[in-house]
Amino acid sequence: MSRGRADNVSWDVLRGRTLGPAPFFVVGILNATPDSFYDGGSACGTEALVDKALHLLDRGADILDIGGESTRPFAEEVPADVELLRVLPVVRGVLRARPDAVLSVDTTKACVARACLEAGAVIVNDVSAMGADPGLMDVVADLKPGYVLMHSQGAPGTMQVAPTYDDVVDEIRAFFSARLEVLVRAGVPEGNVVLDPGIGFGKTLEHNLEILRNIERFFEFGRPVYMGLSNKSLWKGLLGRDGRDRNAPTLAATVALYGRGVRIHRVHEVRETRDGLLVARALAGEGEDGC
């Protein structure tokens, strides 16, 4: 990806595979947890979760992000063995049914990441930026999956207590600069890393809006921006919306951010997002095909 905005996105992931180039990637969220803020417990057991995963793929997900530990504000930590029991059978089940599916594991734990990558996942989505388990650096440097480098101020259990910044955009930019250098020095190829500014992770409503208003400032690193704002609490703060009433503002923001160069979108509502992005492309004269 060239410096600044790019019309298409490519992402190097595990086993020498490159995703794209494509106009965008829609990442479907699959929560294998009983306490997700959006759909916790709605799909219980491996078979139901695999069915839901296949449904998301059929609705147009380019990538599935599978998580076994909730990262909502004030969530409690989950032991590694419990998280692994939730996630690994789903990874295996999805790949049995769809061997070409692109799977991401949403974890901060080295042992969970390694097991899922060895089972066929190709991306690690780490909300802790290696802060929760230093051993994760060895896994990512060794296996070289795609890696989502996300900014958070604090862990999920405490991050929303009193988040403060002098300049939220500048501080996140400095964080990305420093952590990218550490990753590359450890042996993680830069082409494997995408950047998530961490909407809702240790940020107030105003912090979140300031990040989104200045999203282009994160393009300077030459890496794709990965956006996760689906149905988050900023829509309650901005509009007073709860639960699934946040779908419309999520889609509006996603389409607006696509128009400003954000190419990877992690969402709950896959088909609606894909439709919105395809309409945005068509109206901008960028073509009518998908990824």
Q: What is the CATH number of the domain that holds 55?
A: 3.20.20.20
pLDDT digits (tens, 9 = 90+) for 105-119: 999 999 999 999 999
Alpha-helical segments (H) within the chain? 46-58, 80-97, 110-119, 135-143, 168-186, 205-213, 234-239, 247-259, 270-283
State the Cα–Cα distance between residues 26 and 250, nearest whole angstrom.
Answer: 13
pLDDT of amino acid 158: 58
For 72-92, give one letter per residue: b (16+ CB within 10 A) or e: bbebeebebeebbebbbbbbb
- Annotated catalytic residues are 232, 266
Taking 70 as the threshold, does the pLDDT of residue 70 lie above it? yes
State the Cα–Cα distance between residues 158 and 149, nearest whole angstrom.
Answer: 20
What is the domain count for the chain? 1
Whether the Cβ atoms of residue 195 and residue 218 lie closer than 8 Å to each other: yes
- How much is the average pLDDT of 264-291? 88
Whether the Cβ atoms of residue 174 and residue 221 lie closer than 8 Å to each other: no
pLDDT band of residue 75 (cuts 50, 70, 90) is low
Residue 70 belongs to some domain of the structure: yes
pLDDT digits (tens, 9 = 90+) for 165-223: 999 999 999 999 999 999 999 999 999 999 999 999 999 999 999 999 999 999 999 99
State the Cα–Cα distance between residues 29 and 228, nearest whole angstrom.
Answer: 10
Query: Does 19 or 35 have the greater pLDDT score?
Result: 19
Taking 60 as the threshold, does the pLDDT of residue 240 lie above it? yes
Q: Which domain holds residue 86?
A: 12-283
How many CA atoms are closer than 13 Å to the CA of 8, on its beta-carbon side? 10
Residue 164 belongs to some domain of the structure: yes
pLDDT of amino acid 290: 42
Query: Does 43 or 227 have the greater pLDDT score?
Result: 227
Residue 7 belongs to some domain of the structure: no
Residue 204 belongs to some domain of the structure: yes
State the Cα–Cα distance between residues 288 and 253, nearest whole angstrom.
Answer: 21
State the Cα–Cα distance between residues 118 and 181, nearest whole angstrom.
Answer: 26
Residue 226 belongs to some domain of the structure: yes
State the Cα–Cα distance between residues 191 and 213, nearest whole angstrom.
Answer: 26
Phi, psi of 179 (to 5 degrees): -70, -35
Whether the Cβ atoms of residue 90 and residue 49 lie closer than 8 Å to each other: yes
pTM of the model: 0.91
Whether the Cβ atoms of residue 208 and residue 153 lie closer than 8 Å to each other: no
Residue 255 belongs to some domain of the structure: yes
Concatenating the DSSP letter of every residue in 124-161 gives EEETTTT-S-THHHHHHHHH--EEEEE--SS-TTTTTS
pLDDT digits (tens, 9 = 90+) for 123-181: 999 999 999 999 999 999 999 999 999 999 866 555 565 678 999 999 999 999 999 99
Residue 131 belongs to some domain of the structure: yes
Whether the Cβ atoms of residue 197 and residue 173 lie closer than 8 Å to each other: no
- As beta bridge partners, residue 93 has none
pLDDT band of residue 101 (cuts 50, 70, 90) is very high
Query: Backbone dihedral region of 253: left (phi > 0), alpha (psi from -120 to 50 degrees) or beta?
Result: alpha
Residue 4 belongs to some domain of the structure: no
- As beta bridge partners, residue 22 has 9
Six-digit token pair at 62? 């380019």
Whether the Cβ atoms of residue 275 and residue 265 lie closer than 8 Å to each other: no
pLDDT of amino acid 244: 76
Neighbours of 256 (CB within 10 A): 14
- How much is the average pLDDT of 246-272? 97
Longest dimension (CA), the chain: 49
- How much is the average pLDDT of 263-269? 97
pLDDT of amino acid 37: 47
State the average pLDDT for the chain.
90
pLDDT band of residue 287 (cuts 50, 70, 90) is low
